[in-house]
Amino acid sequence: MTRPVLSRRRFVTLAGAGSAAAVFGIPAYIPRIGEAADTLKIGLLEPYTGVYAGPAENETHGFEMAADAWNKRGGVLGRKIELVKEDEQNDTSVAAQKARKLINQDKVAALVGTVSSGVSLSVAGVAATTGTLFMDSGGHSDDVTGKSCHWNVFRTCHSTWMETHATGYALQKRFGKKWFFITPDYAYGHSLEAGFKDVLAHNGGTVVGNELTPLGTTDFSSYLTKIDAAKPDLVLVFVQGDDYTNCLKQMNQFGLLKKYPVGGPQVELEPLLGLGPEARQGYWGIEWYYKSEKCLGKNNKLAQEFVAESIKRHGRPPTARNAFGYITLDRLAHAMTDAKSVEPVKVARAIEGVRFNSIFAGSAYYRKEDHQLMWPMWVAKIRPNGTPGDKYDLFDVTDVNAAEAVEQTIAQKEAVCKLGYP
Amino acid sequence: MIEHLGPQLFNGLVLGAFYAIVALGLSLIMNLTGTINMAHGSFMTLAGYLAYSMVLRHVPFGWALVIAPLFAVLVGVIVERTLVRPLYKREPFYSLLMTFGLSLIAEEVFRLVWGPNGVPFSPPASLAGAASLGFMQFPTFRIFIVGVLVIAIAALALFLTRTRFGLRLRAAVQDSEMIAALGTNTQLLYAVNFSLGIFLAGIAGVLAAGMLGLSPTSGNALLMPAFVTVIIGGMGSLFGSIVGGLLVGIAISMTTLFIPAASEVAMYVLMAIVLLVRPRGLFGEEGIFG
């Protein structure tokens, strides 16, 4: 038997192409076709494959619960909501292409979804050029409601500015002024860095180290060994998802969690559950929490039902991602009902500025000037082992920040954001 | 800066040993059958998840470290017999595509079985702390990892150089036709060789799960550096894979020290230099451990 000869050159080509495809993912496609004329189609874009598949699934659960609740009440304008789901693969170009497909082929009334900021901006771009409504449920970049804002784009989750300022103020109350950053080296990381530097500028603190780590870093040891030399008062971790798990796990192994307080602008329940209890520590920004009166409000029936129904459906409590999905679609449906139309301009006008109560404490509104949802941002101390009988109960909510206190002012936003209504 | 040099060098060596063992598994499989195993990372993840499930059921970590890779080998043998073997006579491109497809399927299967989010898998308490090495605090688990990797590599070297079977394997790499003509069952050779590769991947997978995170995509993240390692070390040389791994590890840790933003690109620069200066890789095509 002769076996084909594998030359070095050929190996380099093949292995390179193959690994690149493995890293960046190959198209996976989840088609859903529904042609019933009496349904109201909403295009849902989420990264169902890849590193953000977890958050994507939870956001989808939230969207589905809102859709089911409205459909049970007879739908929107007499039409049942139908979610047309597409996998955007956490890839900006795939997302843009899928967004166009949803608009042109499925004729959706609006687009919702996304987890990563880059993808949100990409979909917002398509929405802007086609005049389609887009409600960004989970991409945090300031630009979405900042310099890339557009009349038909709304955002539910908090902006990075809100995250950094809410946690920055909470942390400076508790720890010293020498901070060390572990920053993911892309747009999101840099905007977090800028936000915290703004907080430090107000209280005269300093950055004693800022390690820029490439997205997808698995081994953090080389960055971590520098922390000891810098002797910071606080280590701030900005990396997300799997990188977050890797980083915290290794900080623990290097004994750093015992020496330095740790915290960050935001942590989600999903990656935290992937960490062992020994590495769950510190003060972190959280965007919603299922088990705190500070977050849900006293006797908030809607929130209690949302939590109970989520647990019943999925066997685990809802996370902030579930909440993003629910709030987003619920508001969109309300606005369409109020506007008695699905015409984008009318619906946009019906969303902005309207105060509403939902599954969190107090009332909130999508700000008229930049379309950012103005709702509180919370800070929590982590309980490594949860509470007796509930392994998911990892957050002890310590601080509540009003949106207006932690987001850029209207004047600041108006300097960069021009909504440009037709 | 300079006071970091020692610790960083050590960090790099540990990381390098890790890439080396993944690359060794890849090389073993590639050298004998020309199969570029794109599913190597999936076997790592599989072993990691299996070990996680065992530890959840109170199997001691040490046992899980051996048993989980063996289960991965079992899956590997089935894959080799049913999917890879029919492609041996074809262009390497076929098996590359097949194993790549397999890795995508595996990722979704992991997601179905163990959920889309990462799971917490920690080394046992006895290995959890950090130990003083004199010049730095170093995680006990990483020291343990180095120990396991050194033992695994030494055992592999002994197997290949001191046993009849190892001798046949090395001979088959040189000339599989002649070995078959002399009456050796080459199909069995291929299967055992594939299993060896997967076993190494499995051990690396369990150790990686303890050191890093464990999620459906975690194994694939380690695959690219391993391929780079193989190219730098030179195809056909297992010794090259070890040296290549250490070089990649040191390159990453040193650039992190001096130009952090370039740390990810460092190994590719190293690969480019090696390919320019010595296209067959540092120890390419000199035979196993030759």
pLDDT in tens, B109-156: 999 999 887 888 888 888 877 787 776 778 888 889 999 999 999 999
- Give residue B290's pLDDT band: very low, low, confident or very high (50, 70, 90): very low
Rounded Cα distance, A216 and B221, in Å? 8
Higher pLDDT, B278 or B260: B278
Rounded Cα distance, B68 and B80, in Å? 18
Q: Which of A80-89, B42-51, B231-240 has the lowest mean pLDDT?
A: B231-240
Q: Residue B102's domain is classified under what CATH number?
A: 1.10.3470
* Terminal CA-CA length for chain A: 71
Buried-state track B89-100, b at ≥16 Cβ within 10 A, e below 16: eebbbbbbbbbb
Q: DSSP characters for B215-282?
A: -TTHHHHTHHHHHHHHHHH-TT-HHHHHHHHHHHHHHHHHHHHH-GGGHHHHHHHHHHHHHHH-TT-T
Of B11, B211, B284, the CB nearest to A225: B11
Locate the chain B residue with the closest alpha carbon to A53. B116
Report the amino acid identity of residue B58: H
State the average pLDDT for chain B.
88
A90: alpha, beta or left, given left = phi > 0 and alpha = psi -120 to 50? left
Rounded Cα distance, B102 and B125, in Å? 35
- Give residue A356's pLDDT band: very low, low, confident or very high (50, 70, 90): very high
A386's tokens: 């949860």
3-state helix, strand, coil in chain A (%, to 5): 45, 20, 35
The domain of B23 spans 2-277
A94's tokens: 């795939």
Higher pLDDT, B139 or A187: B139
Q: What is the pLDDT of residues A340-351, one digit of tens each?
A: 999 999 999 999
pLDDT given at position A2? 47
Q: How far is CA B254 from CA A133, A255, B137, B269, in A?
A: 48, 22, 18, 13
Rounded Cα distance, B76 and B72, in Å? 6
Task: Outline where A206-267 has alpha helix (H).
Answer: 221-230, 241-253, 256-259
pLDDT given at position A273? 83
Higher pLDDT, B197 or A22: B197
- HSE-up (13 A, CA, CB side) for residue A311: 10
- Of the residues A213, A239, A253, the best mutation for testing chain B's interface (the one with the most B CB atoms within 10 Å of its CB) is A253
The DSSP symbol for A409 reads P
The answer to whether the beta carbons of residues B17 and B145 sit under 8 Å apart is yes
In a domain, residue B27? The reply is yes
Report the amino acid identity of residue A200: L
In a domain, residue B126? The reply is yes
Locate the chain A residue with the closest alpha carbon to B99. A18
Of B137, B180, B218, the CB nearest to A242: B218
Report the amino acid identity of residue B25: G
B125's tokens: 């308490």
In sign, the C-alpha dihedral spanning A342, A346, A348, A353 is negative
The answer to whether the beta carbons of residues A43 and A93 sit under 8 Å apart is no
State the average pLDDT for chain A.
89
Q: Which of A209-213, A252-256, A367-371 has the highest mean pLDDT?
A: A367-371
Rounded Cα distance, A133 and A154, in Å? 8
pLDDT given at position A37? 54
Q: Contacts of residue B139 in chain A, CB cutoff 8 Å?
A: 250, 253-255
In a domain, residue B290? The reply is no
pLDDT given at position A15? 64
pLDDT given at position A28? 41
Higher pLDDT, A276 or A251: A251
Residue A215's SS3 state is coil
Of A23, A213, A219, the CB nearest to B224: A23
Contact call for A255 and B137, based on CB within 8 A = yes
Pairing status of strand B130-132 against strand B137-139: antiparallel
Q: What angle do CA A345, A346, A349 make, to 5 degrees?
A: 85
In a domain, residue B251? The reply is yes
Q: What is the pLDDT of residues A238-252, one digit of tens each?
A: 998 888 888 999 999
Rounded Cα distance, B90 and B113, in Å? 34
CA A92 to chain CA mean position, Å: 16
Q: Contacts of residue A242 in chain B, CB cutoff 8 Å?
A: 118, 213, 215, 217-218, 221
Q: What is the pLDDT of residues A378-401, one digit of tens each?
A: 999 999 998 998 989 999 999 999
In a domain, residue B241? The reply is yes
Rounded Cα distance, B178 and B21, in Å? 29
**What is the domain count for chain B?**
1
Q: Residues near A419 by Cβ (< 8 Å), separated by ≥ 6?
A: A149, A150, A151, A369, A370, A371
- pLDDT at residue A133 greater than cutoff 90: yes
pLDDT given at position A4? 52
- pLDDT at residue A25 greater than cutoff 90: no
pLDDT given at position A191? 87
Percent of chain A residues past pLDDT 70, beyond the cut = 91
- pLDDT at residue B260 greater than cutoff 80: no
Pairing status of strand A363-366 against strand A356-357: antiparallel
Residue A184's SS3 state is strand
Q: What is the pLDDT of residues B163-193, one digit of tens each?
A: 998 988 888 888 888 888 888 888 888 999 9
pLDDT given at position B211? 87
Of A3, A8, A223, the CB nearest to B256: A223
**pTM of the shown model:** 0.80
In a domain, residue B87? The reply is yes
- Give residue A217's pLDDT band: very low, low, confident or very high (50, 70, 90): confident
Contact call for B223 and A11, based on CB within 8 A = no
